[in-house]
Structure 1
């Protein structure tokens, strides 16, 4: 039975539908002898005749063995056709992509990535996972947005620099840059010391600047709400304040090293066409954001 091929079943089903080898050959675009060879190969594989051949103009008749083979053969042909369709759709960009992300990317960069990805691939499924772990989880995700480099067998594709800004209540500072030294001893609302925040705090300490941390939270909006309430100031990446209109946002002088936004995936991974397209779109959107900021 291992010698049965799809082409044997296709020729057999065509003869069964058409009632003759000649008409089956016309339908499939083969010679009649080729159809006969395919059916003969099938009969050898199953160990018996699948047709009674009365000869002349009479239709061929399916044998009891042929009826069994035809029933299962049609299922196999349908599954093969379904497989071919699925592969074609996959190559065209259909399918599913699992993306790891975090809040400022989710709010600014990712909506445009998802929109453009769905415009070109309306049948695709996009699943988002927003778990801010350090290091990020890569093993079961196609791509991960992350604010830093990760050790191990990981490919890093840098998207953009995300500079830090001082966020304060309006009127706290004159318009324009604020001196980094002015943060020494100042009340600061900030993130927990994870991911890029730990690096920022080390950089402040090296500069001799030690703000007084009064509140920590992972939520951008929670931080800005605390600033609005007068609890303290905040140091936030530009993406985190991209849509902010109620608070005063200032560059720092001298500037802190920017947060780096990367797209990560497991090294050596073969991307689906959908994932490859997502990478191209993310690079395109990041470039547009940087151009707009300049």
Structure 2
């Protein structure tokens, strides 16, 4: 394997571009003897002459072997420059971040997180993916989820998100509704892979067994079915905020007693070396969640 130094390849490229050893030395800040020593070391590494030296002020000419070395050397120099740039961007907080999310967070918390990250680091790349039920973190840098995930992960709890009853106006009396009063009434539910299995247990513990008349994994679809009169639904406060349901006069929102509540958590791999971008994303997500929680509590 040929053992060459990048600085020797950079010197060779400068000689070709400048035409003489002397002008290359002036450009690089080396003496002509230093330039000659570097080229001699490079020629020893590749086992042959790289330049034909006519002497005097006349330009040097590259040999066929030199042309091969120069072509490959320029690729190596470009890759080295890209590596140095990537390292500097990493240290500065730019680069790429992969985030797993789900629909409630995607519509309320995440847009503000992405906007602030982009404002602070315009060159960063933010890649989002919707996560399945019980998701592995895999290659993700950060993962939003509506409960703690077991495994070798660290986490921060962002917000407590109570479930609310959404129905048509007049379906229930004004004010909070007891869970037990939902027994044997038509319900628009989400798929079991969402929160439905967990919600079914909460209702059953309160003595309520509603009749599921329609299921959908999409919050907007569930709300559309409620508007159409198919039944009521139970959705997290964050989901209703994202859908702007409170401003919809076709819907009535009630607190539940007792109030089922989920926690929204942000996870990341334990013990990993996080990029400055990921660290900043955690800080921003925590700040945004606190603001959202204050707005929801006061509304």
TM-score, shorter chain, exceeding 0.5: yes
Aligned-residue offset at 1:166: 1.3
Q: CA RMSD in A?
A: 2.7
Task: Between 176-185 and 33-42, report the one with greater CA deviation.
Answer: 176-185
Query: Structure 1 unaligned runs (5+)?
Result: none
Give SS of 2:9's match.
helix
Quote the residue 1:193 is aligned against.
192
1:253-272 alignment to 2 at 5 Å?
253-256=257-260, 258-272=261-275
Quote the residue 2:295 is aligned against.
292
Contact 2:169 2:252 in 1 (8 A): yes
Quote the residue 1:136 is aligned against.
135
Quote the residue 2:235 is aligned against.
236
Aligned residues: 292
Note closer, same or farther for the CA distance 1:291–1:34 as it changes in structure 2 (3 Å cut).
farther
Aligned-residue offset at 1:173: 3.6
Give SS of 1:99's match.
strand
Contact 2:98 2:140 in 1 (8 A): yes
Quote the residue 1:163 is aligned against.
162
1:75-94 alignment to 2 at 5 Å?
75-94=75-94
| TM-score normalised by the chain length of structure 2 | 0.84
Q: Provide the rounded CA distance (Å) in 2 between the counterparts of 1:53 and 1:41.
A: 16
Aligned-residue offset at 1:248: 1.1
Give SS of 2:253's match.
strand
> Deviation string for 1:48-72 (max 9, x for gaps)?
3323445554544434433433333
Give SS of 2:192's match.
coil
Note closer, same or farther for the CA distance 1:225–1:62 as it changes in structure 2 (3 Å cut).
closer
Q: Provide the rounded CA distance (Å) in 1 between the counterparts of 2:283 and 2:264.
A: 15
Task: Between 239-248 and 53-62, report the one with greater CA deviation.
Answer: 53-62
Contact 2:2 2:46 in 1 (8 A): no
Aligned-residue offset at 1:164: 1.0
Q: Provide the rounded CA distance (Å) in 2 between the counterparts of 1:53 and 1:230.
A: 90
Are 1:249 and 2:253 matched, yes or no?
Answer: yes
Are 1:204 and 2:206 matched, yes or no?
Answer: no
> Deviation string for 1:118-150 (max 9, x for gaps)?
33333344333224x321142243332211122
Task: Between 230-239 and 259-268, report the one with greater CA deviation.
Answer: 259-268
Quote the residue 2:283 is aligned against.
280
Aligned-residue offset at 1:6: 0.5
Quote the residue 2:220 is aligned against.
221
Contact 1:147 1:195 in 2 (8 A): no
Quote the residue 2:36 is aligned against.
36
1:27-106 alignment to 2 at 5 Å?
27-106=27-106
Note closer, same or farther for the CA distance 1:183–1:2 as it changes in structure 2 (3 Å cut).
same
Aligned-residue offset at 1:195: 4.8
Note closer, same or farther for the CA distance 1:52–1:92 as it changes in structure 2 (3 Å cut).
same
Give SS of 1:172's match.
coil
Query: Structure 2 unaligned runs (5+)?
Result: none
